[in-house]
Structure formats: structure tokens, C-alpha cells
Structure 1
């Protein structure tokens, strides 16, 4: 899959950052060392520094483009290319007081199985949020349109990156010596009008639809076709029915699931 594009991801930085800010407020205790798994372009490191001044923060991400952007924007920070699975295995970096992650675990195959090990690597707290919108119209329509020909030949099955409900994460992480707080919030983001691209397509193109669009772009390059443009037009038409354009913007309901597991 093509590398992430930090500029596209940061287009809705305020909306994407809000769950992380609210997660941080629910993390108990003082911490002197923090590992941020899936730190992206490093735009949230300031939130961690504000909450825990003086803490040593290490940001890890699998995307070299994101890490480069983080280093440019925050030259005093510490950022490295790193994988969640490697970190869970203990082969990457030292343990930290707080291990935290925002909208990353849905990209990690078998992330539920890794959670106990990730908690063990946290000396005090494991905290994370993940999208809970795999059954939202934006994602259902993405899968439906991608399953049609000629797109299906280029894309193949679109993976459902399903995450757990709060109760499921509680069941996984609750054990003697731990207190686990889980909850969910549905945000209604008001996306501003765009220059012709449906606002929800612009939102999802930088995240959930990225693998599909990258596959179409690669197919077009190899076969001298224009499937990506045709797909975006068809997908946009479907999005317009599910998410009507209004003069004041387009409402996008976005469910998030939160977990804070703290050692007693």
C-alpha cells in the first residue's frame, strides 16, 4: 500500500485530534515516559507535553512520510519508524509509564490479541481510541462500489477493519491488578464545502479509503485506464445521498471507542 500523505491527513486535523485530546483527559496519574504508537505527523505530541510537562515522549509510526513530517514540525521531539506488533513483542524501544495510541490499532491485523502484551509494556497505563464506524454509510458504500466491476478487478475485496465495542475491550483487558475504563462517543463533524469533491470523500480518502484509491491508481498506471476517476465519481454520488450537502456544510457522524487500562 502507498505511504501515507501527511498533508491530506492534516486537512481535518482539528476533527481528527479531538478524540485524542479527550482520551488524554481521562488518563490518570503523572508520567515521565510516554510512547505514542501511530503518532502520525506528530501534531498531537503537544497535547501530551501540555498534559505531562517534562515527560520524555517517543512517537512511533510505520509511515516514513509521517515520521519525516513529525521531525520537520517538531525537531526537538523524538520520532522513529516503528511497528505496533514489534512493540508488543518487546523488540522495539523500552517500556514506558504510558503507552497511548489514537486511531491506529484498526490498521493492525489481530490487534485484539496484542492488547494484553501492549498493556504489559506500560508501567502504569495503556490508553487508546479507535474508530467504531466500520458499519457507517461511508464505509459500507466504499465496499459496495469497490465490489462492482470494473473496480473489483483492480481492487479485490475491501477489508473490513472492524474494531471492538467497549465491552469487548473491557473483557480483553480486565484482570487482577488493573482498572479498565471503556466508553464510546459519536461525534458529528461538520465538514466545510469543497471545490467539487464530496466532503466525506475528502475526509475518507486520507484514511479509510486510502488503500482502495491507491490500488486503483496503481491499476490505472499499469493499464493506462482511468478507473480511479470513475470510482470517485460513482462513490461520490452514493455519498451525496447518504451525506447531503448543505449550505452550512456536511454532517459526518463518526463513532469512536475509547479504552484506558491502568494498573492498580
Structure 2
């Protein structure tokens, strides 16, 4: 799932097949958020940053009678989404600027907005697209203070690629504390619910945390590097990750991943 905006990281070359590794673990937060949406039968649902359509399919399963529109900035992801759900409309767009053809009853965005800066203006803009009485539902990873992400910065600082990765090294944390969003959305909404969940996942494979981040958070670090640098950077990062997330006795790896959820209801 992806989005772009001025001041955000370079648009990554998303690979749907790689992103779908650990698909069940990636979809669980979306399922948990869907179950909390306080709408019985929304007429029109907008999936912002729909990616390969996996979450769009979950929305369709939950509300089969609703009209659905998926939006993403990655042509590769949209191709995969159209293949998965040929009956659903998908369009290319930038979540920071794009406007839907009509106000949605539900604006749903899963693991997307962490890629975009300026949440102080982005969230009110997106919320303003929602139909009065409608809902904006947001899920974002907030694992940026954990080794899975801090070791990217550590690796970037310690190698000959430091100058190339200065933007990523200096980038502030992309997701704020829950209180920031509570204060931001409360004056705009009839009701705001915010909570966090720490998912403790048991991942299979050799050094699977690297496989997980390779599809998402690691991508902006790899994009500016040449092929030799990419190989050496990932090897350095992988060694650090192996020490931070050692395998369990059965060969699996425990990986704790924090996510923040936001539900905001527009005044009718």
C-alpha cells in the first residue's frame, strides 16, 4: 500500500508478490479495524492506498452491497488489485491531493498514511472528504522506535552510503503519539476513538524480520543505492536484525509490531 506527496520519501517500486509475504499477519490489523467501524451498510466505501487489493477484498466481504473504489499511487499494485477484484473500480492517485468523485460514507486507509508527511493538515483534509455522518478509519504501523526500524538508521549511519541516505537518517518519526491525533481530530468530529495494539507474531523462515521490512520500511533506504551498495547494506542490516530477533527453539522468530487505530465520525 502506498501513497506519495511533496516532502515524502521517493515513490518506491512496490512489488506486490513481496508485499504479500506474511499476508495473513499484514491483514489482521485491517480486519480488526473493519470490525470496529460503526456503520451497518455504507453506500460508498473508499479504500485509500488500496495496494494489491487484499484489504479491499476484506471490505467487500464485510459490506457486499456497498460500492467500492480503491485508490493507490502504484501502477504495479493497481494491476494486481484489478486482477484480484475485476468487479471493483481502482484508480491511480496521490492520497495527499486526490479527491474522490463523491464523498464516501467510509474512508478506509490501512498502513498508508505513515508514508505521508504533515499529518496536521493531511488528516483534516482526508476527513473533510467524508460524507456528513460518515466515518474515517485509519490504521498505521507505529513500530519506528523498535529494532526493526531503528537498525535501518543505524546501518545507514555506519556505512559509506551515509550521504546518499541523509534524507532517511534525518526523517522524523512518521507517526505521532496517539494524543496528537486525539487533539487534532476532536474539534472536527462527533466522536473519535484511538487505540493501539501490539501484535506479537511468530514468523517462519530464515531471518524473517528482514523479509518483512524488505517489502515496506526498508525500501526507501534501498532505492538511492546502486546494486553493490544494496547488497552490502542489506547484509549489514540483516546481521544486526538477526542479533535483535534471534530464532526460538522451534526455528520461528517472535516479532512484536505496534499499530495505531483511529476512528473518527463526521458530524451529521
The match for 1:223 is: none
1:93 CA displacement: 2.9
TM-score between both structures, scaled by the size of structure 2: 0.89
Matched, 1:251 2:260: no
Q: Which residue of 1 aligns with 2:44?
A: 33
Q: Distance in 2 between matches of 1:229 and 1:263?
A: 48
**Please, which of 51, 54, 57 is the counterpart of residue 43 of structure 1?**
54
Specify every segment of 5 or more residues in structure 2 that has no aligned partner in the other structure, as ranges.
Answer: 1-9
Tell me the alpha carbon deviations over residues 78-133 of structure 1, each in whole angstroms, 9 at most, x when there is no partner.
1111111113xxx4432111101001001112133111121121111011010111
Match of 1:58 in 2: 69
CA contact (8 A) 1:3 1:64 kept: no
SS at match of 2:238: helix
State the partner residue of 1:234: 236
* Structure 1 Cα separation of the partners of residues 210 and 188 of structure 2: 44
State how far apart, in whole Å, the 2-side matches of 1:238 and 1:252 are. 15
Higher helix share: 1
- Change in Cα spacing, 1:208 to 1:177, as seen in structure 2 (3 Å) is closer
TM (normalized to structure 1)? 0.90
* Distance in 2 separating the partners of 1:215 and 1:14: 30
SS in 1 for 2:54: coil
Given that 1:188 and 1:253 are in contact with CA atoms closer than 8 Å, whether structure 2 keeps it comes out as yes
Structure 1, unaligned runs of 5 or more: 221-225
SS at match of 1:150: coil
Cα offset, 1:177, TM superposition: 5.2
1:1-264, aligned counterparts within 5 Å? Answer: 1=10, 2-29=12-39, 30-87=41-98, 91-123=99-131, 124-158=134-168, 159-175=171-187, 178-194=190-206, 198-216=207-225, 219-220=226-227, 226-246=228-248, 247-264=250-267
Give the CA RMSD over aligned residues. 1.5
